Each structure stands twice: as structure tokens, then as C-alpha cells.
Structure 1
Amino acid sequence: MCRWLAYSGEPLRPATLVLDTQHSLVAQSLNSPLGAEPVNGDGFGLGWYSGDAGATGTPALFHSIEPAWNDQNLRELSRAIESPLFFSHVRAAAGPPIQQTNCHPFRYENWLFMHNGGLADFDAVKRDLTFAVDPSLYPHIKGTTDSEVLFHLALTLGLRDDPVAAMTKTIRMAEEVGHAHHVPFPVQGTFAVSDGTTLWAFRYSSQGRSRTLFHSADVATLQEMYPEVERLRAFGPHAHVVVSEPLNDLPGVFLEVPESTVAVLDGSGYHHRPFLAAD
């Protein structure tokens, strides 16, 4: 349905990953071998924190309904800015219209959120889930996607205090509402959430067949594995990437995030935790 990447580490120009890798996000917008749809040309978005923003800073956003491969502004912007943490997303619309307010990532205060996947039969469950959003947050829903509703529902259920617990409640509610409307497998996707300091990447589906999700190995390990690869020297020791699918073909660079798992990335590296795993 979509493809996305998230970066955290030393300040980096987004173009390094979004444009310049072998299988960059822009390349995946034209040809996504592991995606549900090979072409993701229904808009894109970039969200980034400035170097001194930290957990309390408001991230900047750039959204466009142009195909990512055809937007000169994306090329200019992604080569001009540097950020220690940024999200990027290319969209394959699955029903909601192609418009800027439906482009990911979504923002609230210092939080960013993006999603690959969807809620099955969203038209049937949209009313119940939207009405569960806190009234103070409802005016911030600008578009018509299931992803934006899920984000604001997670905010309602405590995302700012405990992202894993809030996402657990959000997905459980989406499944309960879906089942009440006779939807057998309501939730599908990978989700990225950040407060500007920590990154949470979730992989889950009601059917147990989630969209793909990978994260990079530690840079020191990669530089030892591939000392001849000049490109790896562009990354600092704390650089990490979480992606819908690998950005290159080098074995061992990208590690698959297991089904029903949240990968938490903070200053000490990755920590995998079960997420809504079957009992």
C-alpha cells in the first residue's frame, strides 16, 4: 500500500537515503518488489526534526501529491536540510483521495506518525473509531485516511505517555470494532512513531501476515563487514534506518523485524519487544 523509512542518528541529509541509495525510497515509489503494490505514486511526505529540536521541538513537514520520482522540490529540499531524525513516506492510495492532507507522516505537537497498510472495510468502522477520538483532538484530523484516525486515536489513548501501551489499546479497539462489523482481519500494517528522541516501529496484522519491515545493523558492524564500501563511511556510529524494504542488496545490512514486534530505537540502540503476539 505504501513504503516508508525512518532515520535516527547523527544529522544527515535525507537525500542520502531517500534518493541516493541503490533501492532508495524514490526508487521504491516506482518499483517496490516487496510491497503489496509495485508503484507508490500517489504522493509523498517528509517530516524532520531540526538538530536542536529534541523531544519538545515541533517537526517540520513537506507533503506533495506529485509522484516522488517527479518532484524537483523533494530533491532540492532533501539535499539542503540536515536532520538527526526524519520520516519519509511514499503513498499508494487504497481508497481515500489523493490530496496533501492524506499524505504521511502526520504530526501532532512533537510527535510524528506514519503507516503502511490499512484498516479493512474502513468505511464500515470509520464512524465508530472517529467518534472514539478525544473531542479536543478531533479538529486536528485534516484528511480522510484510516492512518490519521489511528494516530489521533492513539493520542487519545495515551501515546504521549506510553506509546507501546497506547498502540496496543488502539489496535485492540480497531480489531474489536472491525469484528463487530463482521470484518475478519481488521488491521494490517507497519507503523512508525517518534517524539523526536525515540523511534517506535511496529509490525502487526490481525491475520499474522504483516507488511514487511526491516532495520539496519549497527554501523560499526557494517563497516567491519564491508570495509571496501565507501558509502558506509557517510554514516556516524549512531546511525540507524528502519525501512519497509532494504535500501541495498548487501547481505546482513538490513535485518527483518519479526511479526508482532515493536522495535524501539533509542540512544542505546534497538530493543525488540513482542507486540500483540498471540497467546
Structure 2
Amino acid sequence: MCRWAAYRGEPLYLEELVTSPKHSLIEQSHCAVRAKTATNGDGFGIAWYGDRPEPGRYRDILPAWSDCNLKSIARQIRSPLFLAHVRAATGGGTRRDNCHPFVFGRWSFMHNGQIGDFEHLRRPMETMLDNELYSARSGTTDSELLFLLALQFGLDRDPLGAVAEALAFVERLAERLGRPALVRFTAAFSDGRDLYAVRYATDWKAPTLYAGPMGSSGGYCLVSEPLNDDDSAWVEVPDGSAIIVGENGVDVRLFGTADVAMAPASRLFSG
């Protein structure tokens, strides 16, 4: 399983998530403590937003702990919204175009999880994409394909609804083909304005997700595992939940695919 961290709030240097904390993302790349695999050395990537609508991105196949360029970039880039990911491959080769985050237009996306029997579902999933989105697919992972399916199903119009529709499509497809409908999905994605995250699994064993405040002006961080040992600073996001981090703080909603609809559930944090 992979590890990732995402932030929205006042501009911060990327190093405040990626390299500086005791349990930074680089530390998690070789010593994750809340994952099935402690080592996440199959590449890394970061996507950040600045003055332009589209995100900048840097990815490589090196383990995050051994890339001096990543440490240098993280010290210099300051952003109000960014996504960072270290990869432990469950499918797809170790190559740059399989490293997260994936981007399309103003959207960025990263994922921790898997689709069961993906090799049998991949081709019919790809046939759902229009020509533009199909041509945008450069890697071989289920993560990138789920991102493109969400775009196909209206990510621009209804981000959480589109992700739910994409996952529901995969589940129905698996059942139709007589395959187990196994989806484990903990993902973060952004349009450069709001930061979204989903924790969901068909077997209620979704990869972990935590949320906590960061910075002095109401910023929030979403992570696969806490960046420090202060347990009181982090809230575990329940399985079957979606999060929106926006100008007014963090909203948490129920998330599911049974009727492809989300209903407001609670508000974890004040704005």
C-alpha cells in the first residue's frame, strides 16, 4: 500500500509535510507504521498549485528517501494546496507514468488501494472513456484509470458524485463478469480550489486516512498516517466517508456507491 499527504490552507513549504516532520512522507517511504508494507519505495510524486490554474508536478521512480532533488524542491516551493505521494506498487510497473499524483487540466489525483481482479476489468473500464480521456492515459495502473473514469462521469460538475459513480461502475462491472467486487479506495484529489478525499471499501477494509489542522491560519492536512506522535492532533476519518477541505474548514460526509449518492453526516472541525 502507498502513503500520501495533502494540504490546503495558508501557503506552506512542501517540506513541512514531505521532509521535516518526525513521521514525514519521506520517513514513511521507508518506515511506514500504519500500513501493511513498511516500505514504499516504488517512486514518488508531488503536485502543487500556484499562480496558474493547472498544477505543477514532479515525479520519479527513485525511492523518495534517495532523491536529493525532492528535498531541494520541497525546501523552495511554497503552496496553499498540494498533494504528495510515495508508492508501493500493487499493480503496474515501476515507471514514471505510473507514479502519483496524476493530473488532467486543473485536476490532480492520488490513490492508495486497489481494484480486485483489475487485469480482467481493465479493458471494459477503458472502453468507457471518450477519445480525449483515453488518449490521456499514459500509465497502466488502476489508480490512473479510476481518475479518468471520474473525469468521464463528471468530476468537474460533481466531484464526489463522479467518484462514487466511477466506483459503482467498477463494482457493477465486476459482478456482471462474475468477479469479486473488491474495491479499496482512499484517495485525495483537487481542482486547485478545494481539496477532496474519500475513504471507501466494499469490504470495509479501506486504507487509513487521518485529518488534522496545520499552520496558524486554519489550514488542514489529510494523511495516510499522522506526521507526528501527537495523537490528539489527528482524527481518523471513518471508512465510508468523504471530506471536503474548503474556505470554511473541513466537512465530512457519508460516502457510498449503493445509490450513488452522498448525504451530509457531520462536521469534524470548525471553520
Give TM class, smaller chain: over 0.9
What is the deviation of 1:159?
0.3
What is the deviation of 1:185?
3.7
* Residue 224 (structure 2) pairs with residue 244 (structure 1): yes
SS in 2 for 1:241: strand
What residue identity is the alignment partner of 1:10?
A: E
SS in 2 for 1:97: coil
SS in 2 for 1:4: strand
What residue identity is the alignment partner of 1:48?
A: W
SS in 2 for 1:174: helix
Unaligned runs of at least 5 residues, structure 2: 260-271
What residue identity is the alignment partner of 1:83?
A: S
Structure 1 length-normalised TM:
0.90
Q: Deviations over 1:165-207 (max 9, x none)?
A: 1011001001111222333242102011100010110000110
Give yes or no for contact 1:185–1:207 (8 Å, CA) kept in 2. no
How do residues 1-279 of structure 1 correspond to structure 2 at under 5 angstroms?
A: 1-50=1-50, 52-53=51-52, 57-217=53-213, 235-276=215-256
Unaligned runs of at least 5 residues, structure 1: 220-234
What residue identity is the alignment partner of 1:253?
A: A
What residue identity is the alignment partner of 2:220?
A: H
Structure 1 runs (4+) deviating above 4 angstroms are: none
Q: In the aligned structure 2, how far is the partner of 1:157 from the partner of 1:65?
A: 30
What residue identity is the alignment partner of 2:46?
A: L
Residues 277, 179 of structure 1: alpha-carbon distance in 2 compared, 3 angstrom cutoff:
closer
What is the deviation of 1:33?
1.2
Q: In the aligned structure 1, how far is the partner of 2:231 from the partner of 2:87?
A: 27
Q: In the aligned structure 2, how far is the partner of 1:189 from the partner of 1:88?
A: 17
Percent of pairs with identical residues = 42
What is the deviation of 1:277?
7.0
State how many pairs are aligned.
Answer: 259
Q: In the aligned structure 2, how far is the partner of 1:181 from the partner of 1:96?
A: 22
Q: In the aligned structure 1, how far is the partner of 2:226 from the partner of 2:78?
A: 22
SS in 2 for 1:75: helix
| 1:231 aligned residue | none
Q: In the aligned structure 2, how far is the partner of 1:139 from the partner of 1:184?
A: 29
What residue identity is the alignment partner of 1:6?
A: A
What residue identity is the alignment partner of 2:242?
A: V
Q: In the aligned structure 2, how far is the partner of 1:266 from the partner of 1:8?
A: 8
Q: In the aligned structure 1, how far is the partner of 2:78 from the partner of 2:24?
A: 17
Structure 2 length-normalised TM:
0.93
Q: In the aligned structure 1, how far is the partner of 2:206 from the partner of 2:57?
A: 27
